[in-house]
Each structure stands twice: as C-alpha cells, then as structure tokens.
Amino acid sequence: MHPAQAKLSEHALLKNYLLDRAYDEMFAGPDDLHPHYEPLFERFSSLPADELQRRKHSAELSFLNQGITFTVYGREDGGAEHIFPYDLVPRIITAAEWATVERGLTQRITALNLFLRDIYNEGRILKDGVVPRETVYSCKHFRRQMVGLQVPRNVYVSICGTDLIRMENGEFVVLEDNLRVPSGVSYMLTNRRVMKRIFPQLFRNYNVRPIEQYTQLLLGALRSLAPEGRPEPNIVLLSPGVFNSAYFEHTYLARQMGIELVEGRDLVTHDNVIYMRTTGGLRRVDVIYRRVDDDFIDPMAFRGDSILGVAGLFNAYRAGNVTLANAFGTGVADDKAIYAYVPDIIKYYLGEEPILQNVKTYLLTDPKSRRHVLQNLDKLVVKAVGESGGYGMLIGPHSTAAQREEFAQKIEADPRNYIAQPTISFSRAPCLIGDNLEARHVDLRPYILYGDKVTIVPGGLTRVALKQGSLVVNSSQGGGSKDTWVLSQ
Amino acid sequence: MLSRVADSLYWMSRYIERAEHATRLLDVNLSLMLDESATSADRRWQRLLVELGSPKEVKWTDDPYELTQRLSFDTGLKGSILSCIISARENARHVREQISTEQWHRLNRLYLQVTRPEIRPDMDAEAAIDRADQPTEFLQQVMEGVHQFQGVSDSTMSHGEGWQFIQVGRYIERAAAIALLLEAYHEDLWQHSDRIPEGNEYLEWMGLLRSATAFEAYCKVYTADVTPDRIFEFLLLDQEFPHSVRFSIDTLERALEAIHGEGGKSRAEPLRRLVGRLRASLSYSSADEILNGDIVAYLRGIQFQCRGIHEMMYQLYIDYSIQAALAG
C-alpha cells in the first residue's frame, strides 16, 4: 500500500479520473484500490510520463509493422487500413470472478446448442410455448433449409464470443451472444504477446493464466467435427478475402493452426464433395471453419448475388461430405429478440437457474412494452435484432430528437426488428489517455469453444470505448482494446 | 499448395524483382548523367524508357528529375517503383499466412517507408538543387529494402513449393528484363557504335554493366578491360553470375523441376520441354555465333519464350480446367 500521507484521489496520474455510480475495475472507493490492482497502479505511477509514452509508442509500432490492421467500411478514405487502438493498462479479473463467468458461459452455450437442435428438429420448446413460434420463424437468420438435418455430434455452435458487461454492483451480465462468426480473438492473442514484451516483470509477478493454447484448442474443436471415415481431415479456413475487415485475423488463425486459408474461388463442388484447387490438382476438403456469413456462403442455397461463396456447398453439407463450423442457421439463437428468452431456455433444457443474467429487454412486438419504450426513447437503448458491430443502434441519452423520431417510425413500421434495453452505465477501467490514467467504459468478450467439451481460455478481448463518455466499444466506431489478465489465484 | 497462393507468391516475387530493376536503372542513369553532355544524356533517358518496356503513358520531356519522379512515385503508372512495391505487398497480404513473419515485416516496412507522404520530394519545390539529392536517397532505401526482403525470404521461409514459386517469379522476370536491357542497348553498342560521342564509350559500357549489377563481377572474369562483345557474352551466357540470362533460366528450370516433383512429372512434360529448349540454347550457344546473327531476333526470342513459359505454367498449376483435373 501507499503511505497514507497523500490521498490517492489527489495523485497526479489520476487528476482526470472520473468515479461515479458505474462500477470501476480499479477503485473500490474514491481512495481505495481493489487489492488486485495495487501492484499495477504502483508500477504505472513509478514510471515517468515519457517512459510510459515510449512504451505505448513501441506497442503501436509493433502492431503497425506486423500489419495488424482492420478496414472500416464506408469511410471517406476508401477502406484504408487502421490499427486497432490499443491501451497499455491491462484489465484484471480475479480467479473467483472468472470461475463464475466460466460456469455461466458453459451453461449458456450448452443450452443454446440444445435450443438450436430442438428448433431445427422436434421443436419441443415451441410446442410447450416457452419461446413463441412466430419469434423464431420470423427471425431473418432462421434457415428453413436446416430443418430436420442432423449435424455432426449435434454441435451447432463450435465457436462463440459472448459479450459481457459489468453492472453497477460489479456483477457480470450478458449483453449479447455472437453465435455466427465472432471475431476479435486474434487481438486477444496479439495484445497478450505485446503486453508480455512491454511489461514483462509486472506480467510475471501477477501470475496470469495463459491463453496461448487457444489456436490448438480451436484446431481440436474443428477436428472433432470431421465427417465419418475421414481420420485425417483436411481442415480449411474460409475467408471472404483480403477486403474483409477481419482479414488479418483469418490469416493469423490459419497460420497459427497450420491450415489453409481459402476463399470461395479456391473451392469447387463436384458430386456433393468440396475440393480445393491446388497446384497438384484438386484436393478434398473435410471441415470448413468459415468466416463468411450464411447469406453469402452458397449462392445456390442462400443469396444468389453472392460472389464470396461456393456454389453447392450446402448440398455437400447436407450430404455429410463436409462439415462447417459454425453450422448454418445459428444466427437465430443470437437474435436480440430471442436473447430475451435465453434465461427461460436455460431453465427449460437444463433445469437450472441461469448463472449469468441478461440485461432487461423490452420486446417491441408486445404493445404494452412498445408504448412504454416509445414514451421513453430518450432513456433507452434501441437495437436492431439482427445487426452487430454497433450498427443500427440508438443510444437514447446521447441522441437527438430527430434520431429518436426516426427510430420511433422504424419501430412502428417493423416492431419485430427492434428491441430496447435500459441505458446501462457499464463498468469503467483505467486507460492511459495522454499522460494520465482516465476511466473508460469496457466490456469483455470471452471466446468459447465447443468440441468434445466446452472450453474457454481464461480471459478474452476487453474492448474499450476510448472516446470520453462513449458507451460504444466497437472497433468500427472508435473503440479500442486492452489485454485481459485472469489471475490464477 | 492452393493455386491462388502460388499465383500470389509468384507475382509478389515478380513485382519485387521489377521494383529492384527499375530502381537500379534509375540510380545508374542519374549518376551517369553527371559525367555527360546534355545531348548524349537525352539519348540515354529515351533508352531507359525502352529498357523499362516503353510505358505508353510516359514521354521523355527533357527533365530527368521529372522523369525519375514519375517512374518512382506515379501510382497511375503500373511499372513505377511505388506501384510495384504496393502490388508486391498486396500480393503478400493475400498470402500473409504462407510467408514467414520476417518476410512480411520486411516488406510491410518497405511499403510503409515508401508510402509515407513525407518521403516524396515536393515536385514544386523551389530548391531545385536539393531535388537532385532526394531521389538517390529514396532509390537507396528501396534497394536496401528489396535486398533485405530477398535475403530474409531465402533464410526464413521453408524452401518448399511456395519458395520455389517465388524463385520462378524472380528469375523469369529477371531473364526477360536482362534480355530487354540488351535489346535496348543493341542499337547503340553494336549497330551504330559510331554514334556514341567520342570518349563516352566507356561510360556507356559501364552503364550497361551496372544496370545489371554486373560491373564488379565482370571485372573478376575479364578484368576492367571492357568491350561490348564481352559484356554481351557475360550478361547473356555467364553460368555463375546471378543476373545473367543463362543463370536465371538455369535457376528457373531447377525451381520448376522441384515444383513438378510435387505434382507428378508426366503432366508437366510440355512445360519441361519449353524450359529445357531455352536452357539448352543458352548453354550451348557461343556469343560470336549470336553476335554474327540477328541479335535482336535472338533477344526477342528469349522474351517470347519467357512469356510462353509463364502461360504454360498457368495452364498447368494455376488456371487449369476443373473438368480435366477431375478426369485426371
């Protein structure tokens, strides 16, 4: 502990540090650090400002030189590459906090897989009226083509990234499930690598649980999906190509797993078997880790105008000659209207109480909720159900009257397409802004793998809303990230 | 290896080689210009455009610095140094997971160096004196970056199929470029050698040798006693010099053999014949014989055969018909 002569809140490093009702990851009270943040704070306050800047610069340079960049759509610079802003101060999670998160996520992914299997087969949960039929069938990510189809090992979602936030009382809750093609795991891995280089001693003293095994676990999960009779499966990663914003991640994962990165134009279908064009002729493909959305993956089965996909892939999949991770049609379970039912889904299939709670969600198809929401648009957050990445969203307290009017009209026109949630002041963590530590809102996206069993590498991607006061952490909207340390005790 | 990957590696390598060649030509000509009268410089800059494949968009306008500027930085020009580096890097980005991290770092750094706008000398700069110094610095930087990239490629990437495609790209580009270089010099050095102003011959010969980094290597074989015929022999037929056409074709053939080895030899027979014929012609010809015959036709023949090899290789490994592959 610091000697008592100087109050923490008067420390020069903290002169712009905002504390209010939102949970703070570092401070328990105005002059009271959470014990697990003490060594970190001590280290940061012991370094002169220019040394901190030097390390920050060195980290940024290393991202740039490695080409760890992403492309933002629709900006004036025409899809230029940007580095993902990186914050030097790690976010620390205690072993006990993590244990709860881990149990909660395992429970959730297990239930959601059972839900997907059920709605595409018997539909028990629909018959029992736990989730309304219309809500499922009206979801734009519901794939009729999947009805009655048996997927390998009954695993629909092999890879999942769930967004968690921390409420004012410090409890982690689920903000959304990403069950289609979650991204960002490469940033989790590269952030760690850079952090170990920039603060080796601090890292060592903290006893942080490792995450480097992720790619090996991912490969294992993919291998477990191989079609029968293919003991040495050829596993590939299917990417939309170099213009996709996550292309760096695709190349990173393919390289780390030692599998081929393919694009739609590399693959051909013949007799319901998928082949890739190699210099030695055509070679059969058994498992596809696809980073292409359902809509674009097979112009014959889904959107006919897609040029990213592989014609005939769905039929090959149906014939059992190739497996995809994730399966088609998983988006129905991360629809934001279905989200409201997830606690009931967990109770229905597992007979357990949910360990991680949801954020309160108003379904706008219900006339009473809709009236309430329309009257309180300035206090609520409205989201389009099928969107992600921070697009199609209204944050009430930060919105203009014109924006609210626009959303009110959209909601009236298509209530099924929107949900509303209270504006949550989710937790803040210290970030290095200029020469000071300032508090910024953060979320947490752990990555869950479902192979032979559910595995979660300890940690995940902590995303930061770097703009002061902002609640949007998405990289496409000015968010950044930081390393996440889960302590081993 | 995926056909698309082979394609990208091949072009990455060709573009790097092309950037290196253009960089060297500019550097050599800028430095020789300092020793010369304006009229002979004029001829040389026009010849430089021929050596670079006579790009339609560029005309010689009496200003060597403006020309250098365009050939270095004009991204509207496909063969400019900057365009070549951008294309090489773009191809590398498409196969980021196939090349080594060191290769990517080196190439990406070169890209960042040359695309940083502050590097580009201001074309309207009032201080014309400074203008003369800036390009040389830029050219040095590119040359170093390219050499480091090639070194790192050889020492950090497995010498498997991917690396062999890099070899193919580098040496097919080089063989064709040197043949074109000799063709461009042909008129001045052999046909109308009397046109060269008195006392400038040596400069011309040196210029040709240095355009292929060959001056020192040449001296080791023939001493500093430079004659056009020996230059011709050296750049075309030397067995050990890495920038000679023969060396390039020998290496190209070895790389292609290694690639055939992975995929089955019989399929590759037409391509092997094509390369073997060119290699044999270079191995068993004598310089006198060629010099007494139609030099230009011979040099154009080499370039033509290089294009043929490129096309045949595409048919075989990259752009083959799927139906044929299924049947085979």
Residue A395 scores a pLDDT above 90 = no
What's the distance, CA A341 to chain centroid?
20
The answer on pLDDT for B8 being more than 90 is yes
B194 to each of A162, B29, B90, B293, how far by Cα in Å? 79, 21, 46, 20
Neighboring chain A residues of B319 at a CB cutoff of 8 Å: none
* Out of A217-221, A463-467, B236-240, least confident range: A463-467
What pLDDT is stored for residue A61 in this prediction?
A: 83
Q: Is A399 domain-assigned?
A: yes
In whole angstroms, give the CA distance from residue A101 to residue A356: 7
Mean pLDDT of chain A: 90
Q: Which of A8-12, A172-176, A314-318, B49-53 has the least mean pLDDT? A: A8-12
Question: How does residue A390 score in pLDDT terms, banded at 50, 70 and 90?
Answer: low
Percent of chain A with pLDDT over 70: 95
What does the pLDDT look like over A36-56, one tens digit per residue?
999 999 999 999 989 999 999
Unique residue bearing structure tokens 């953060």: A442
Q: Angle, to 10 degrees, between the axis of helix A367-375 and the axis of helix A401-413? A: 170
| Interval A164-183 mean pLDDT | 93
pLDDT-based confidence at B120, cuts 50/70/90?
low
Give the mean model confidence (pLDDT) for residues A113-121: 96
pLDDT category at A101 given cuts 50, 70, 90 is very high
Provide the residue ranges of all domains of chain B, joining segments of one domain with +: 1-157, 159-328
CB nearest to A66's CB, from B3, B105, B262: B105
CB-nearest to A260 from B2, B96, B259 is B2
ipTM over 0.95: no
Q: Is A245 contained in some domain?
A: no
Distance CA B103, CA B92 (A): 9
The average pLDDT across A437-464 equals 94
* Lowest mean pLDDT, pick from A64-78, A358-372, B56-70, B158-172: A64-78
User: Residue A14 is which amino acid?
Assistant: L
Residues 6+ apart with CB under 8 A from A113: A154, A155, A156, A157, A450
Segment A20-39 shows an average pLDDT of 92
How high is the pLDDT of residue A309? 86
What value does the mean pLDDT take over residues A248-276? Answer: 93
Cα–Cα distance for residue pair A370/B255, rounded to 1 Å: 69
pLDDT of residue A4: 46
Highest mean pLDDT pick, A118-127, A305-314, B25-34: A118-127
Helix/strand/coil for A87: strand
Would you say residue A374 lies in a domain?
yes
Q: Which CATH class is domain B1-157?
A: mainly alpha
**Averaged pLDDT, B289-315:** 95
On the question of pLDDT at A485 being above 90, the answer is yes
With vertex at residue A420, the alpha carbon angle to CA A415 and CA A421, rounded to the nearest 5 degrees, is 165
- Put simply, the answer to whether B4 touches A260 (Cβ < 8 Å) is no
Domain that holds residue A412: 360-422
* pLDDT, tens digit, 9 for 90 and up, residues A119-165: 999 999 999 999 999 999 998 899 999 999 999 889 999 999 999 99
- Confidence at A303, pLDDT banded by 50, 70, 90: confident
Residue at A468 is within a domain: no
What CA–CA distances, in Å, run from B109 to A395, A407, B102, B116, B261?
Answer: 41, 46, 10, 11, 35
* Predicted pLDDT of residue A474: 76
Rounded to the nearest angstrom, the minimum Cα separation between A67 and chain B is 7
Query: CATH number for the domain including A412?
Result: 3.30.1490.270
A279 vs B6, B108, B322: nearest CB: B6
CB contact set of A385 (below 8 Å; sequence gap of 6+): A139, A335, A336, A337, A416, A417, A418, A419
Q: How many residues does chain B have?
A: 328
> With contact defined as beta carbons under 8 Å apart, do A411 and A373 qualify?
yes
Listed by number, the residues of chain A in 270-289 with a beta carbon closer than 8 Å to a beta carbon of chain B are 270, 276-282
Q: Does A260 touch chain B (CB under 8 A)?
A: yes
The yes-or-no verdict on residue A78 having pLDDT over 50 is no
Q: Residues A361-367: contacts with CB within 8 Å, 24+ apart?
A: A361/A336, A361/A419, A361/A420, A361/A421, A362/A419, A362/A420, A362/A421, A363/A135, A363/A337, A363/A419, A364/A411, A364/A415, A364/A416, A364/A418, A364/A419, A364/A420, A365/A135, A365/A337, A365/A415, A365/A416
pLDDT computed for residue B64 by the predictor: 86
Is position A467 within any domain? no
Lowest-pLDDT range of A151-155, A256-260, B191-195, B206-210: B191-195
Lowest mean pLDDT among A60-64, A412-416, A437-441: A60-64
d(CA B258, CA A86): 44
Q: How far is A125 from chain B (nearest CA, A)?
A: 44
Reply yes or no on whether the pLDDT at A7 is more than 80.
Answer: no
pLDDT of B298 higher than 90: yes
The predicted pLDDT at position A158 comes to: 96
Which residue among B2, B96, B161 sits closest to A251, beta carbon to beta carbon? B96
With a CB cutoff of 8 Å and minimum separation 6, the contacts of A328 are A143, A145, A146, A294, A297, A314, A317
pLDDT at residue A443 tops 80:
yes
Rg (CA), chain A: 23
Are the Cβ atoms of B112 and A64 closer than 8 angstroms?
yes
pLDDT-wise least confident of A9-13, A261-265, A307-311, B193-197: B193-197
| Residue type for position A133 | R
DSSP symbol at A231:
S
Residues of A within 8 A of B327 (CB-CB) are none
Whether A254 has its CB under 8 Å from any CB of chain B: the answer is: yes
The total of structural domains in chain A comes to 1
A279: nearest CB among B108, B109, B263: B263
Please, which residues 103-142 of chain A have a Cβ atom closer than 8 Å to chain B? none
Instruction: Quote the pLDDT of residue A356.
Output: 96
| pLDDT at res. B118 | 59
Residues A334 and A143 sit within 8 Å (Cβ to Cβ): no
Predicted local confidence at residue A1, as pLDDT: 46
Q: What is the pLDDT of residue A423?
A: 87
| A401 within domain boundaries | yes
Is residue A7 in a domain? Answer: no
Whether A411 maps to a domain, the answer reads yes
